[in-house]
Structure 1
Amino acid sequence: MRFLAVPGRGVPKATHWQREWASRPGWAWAPEPPGPPLVLADRVAALDLAIGASGEPVVLVAHSAGCIATVMWAERHRGPVSAALLVTPPWLREAEPDAAADWRVPMAPLPFRAVLVASRTDPYCTFASAGVYAEAWGAELFDAGDVGHLDSKTGFGPWPAGEALVAGLG
């Protein structure tokens, strides 16, 4: 089983849980975090290349905008994805009518098992909005509690609960 870390908008700090996990054997970035600006079409293309690099099944572990890239990939492509962990996706639905087509968030069931991790205190997505995503994507909703955006700023670093979720998907 392969694991691909799908980064968010920026470059995760050295202390970010996703950076630490991506350094483990059997893990890779999809793509290596390029930093701003975020061009979703480029991220989706890089994710497609990483998934297609092997016929071996893959678990996607996406954070923030990486969750949006993951669901966009699933809408447009197929590959040996067995599951995805979608951690604190940003809520982009309000901006959709005025947003570029690149930012239209698919709202259809994913063709693989998914767990969406939502925070009660995420500044980019309310818990209720995360529930809307989870229902639309056919994902299990995991209540992570008051964890902000689950990033280095909010103290994640090590994230044992996330490791347990990944183990359940792999």
Structure 2
Amino acid sequence: MTRFLLVPGRGVPFPNHWSRQWARAHRDYRWAPEPPGAPYVAEDRVAALQAVVSASTDPAVLIAHSAGCVTVAWWAQQFTGPVTAALLVTPPQGPPVPRQPLPFRSIVVVSRDDPHCSFPYGEQLARDWGGELVDAGPVGHLDSSSGFGPWPAGEKLVARLAGPA
């Protein structure tokens, strides 16, 4: 059975954030790690993600937002596991991030007007990671502040990743 692991960004997502709504709506979605109250420390987040991924041999689809995308990229450089795919939503520009291809299928969602990442940078990350680029249009950081609570288009992307390659 496929596990769906939500990888949080830098802060705690608001209750109406799409990731929080998905966690409430889908019993098989689990936080990896639970959204923290502490500042973002990549090594800590990678270790926490590894703990959740390695807790089972069931295949996993990672669903990351913002700095969570950075966590996934660092995890993929250090560990292997039953991860089959990742949805990487609006990765931020600025923090150091591995640029090697990810060892699993990925979709990288990039916004045309993200205040945390230029479109060309996000487009280059998608290429570097070997992922499929999804141009989300002008959607800000695709978070609660940008008006995204529900995000049905994102759920369709997850379904695509969970299906056969």
* TM-score of the superposed pair, with normalisation by structure 1: 0.92
- 1:157 Cα offset (Å): 0.2
Residue 20 in structure 1 maps to residue 21 in structure 2 = yes
Q: Out of 163, 167, 170, which is 2:155 matched to?
A: 163
Structure 1 consecutive aligned stretches of length 4 or more whose deviation exceeds 4 Å: none
Residue correspondences, number? 160
Residue 150 in structure 1 maps to residue 152 in structure 2 = no
Tell me the distance in 2 between the aligned counterparts of 1:52 and 1:27. Answer: 16
The 5 Å alignment of 1:105-120 reads 105-120=97-112
- 1:73 Cα offset (Å): 0.1
Aligned to 2:61: 59
Deviations 1:9-48 (A, max 9, x none): 0000100000111222111000000134111100000000
The answer to whether the Cα contact below 8 Å between 1:7 and 1:62 also exists between their aligned partners in 2 is yes
SS in structure 2 at match of 1:8:
coil
The answer to whether the Cα contact below 8 Å between 1:9 and 1:35 also exists between their aligned partners in 2 is no
- 1:104 Cα offset (Å): 2.8
- 1:158 Cα offset (Å): 0.2
Residue 38 in structure 1 maps to residue 30 in structure 2 = no
The answer to whether the Cα contact below 8 Å between 1:4 and 1:22 also exists between their aligned partners in 2 is no
The 5 Å alignment of 1:99-110 reads 103-110=95-102
Unaligned runs of 5+ in 2: none
Q: Percent identity?
A: 59
Tell me the distance in 2 between the aligned counterparts of 1:104 and 1:119. Answer: 20
When structure 1 is superposed on structure 2, of 69-78 and 35-44 the one drifting more is: 35-44
Tell me the distance in 2 between the aligned counterparts of 1:90 and 1:55. Answer: 30
Deviations 1:35-72 (A, max 9, x none): 34111100000000110111000000000000000000
The answer to whether the Cα contact below 8 Å between 1:120 and 1:145 also exists between their aligned partners in 2 is yes
Deviations 1:85-140 (A, max 9, x none): 00000012xxxxxxxxxx53101000000000000010011111001101110010
SS in structure 2 at match of 1:78:
coil
- When the two chains are superposed, the root-mean-square deviation of aligned CA atoms in Å is 0.8
Aligned to 1:95: none
* TM-score of the superposed pair, with normalisation by structure 2: 0.95
The 5 Å alignment of 1:71-110 reads 71-92=73-94, 103-110=95-102
Matched AA of 2:12: V
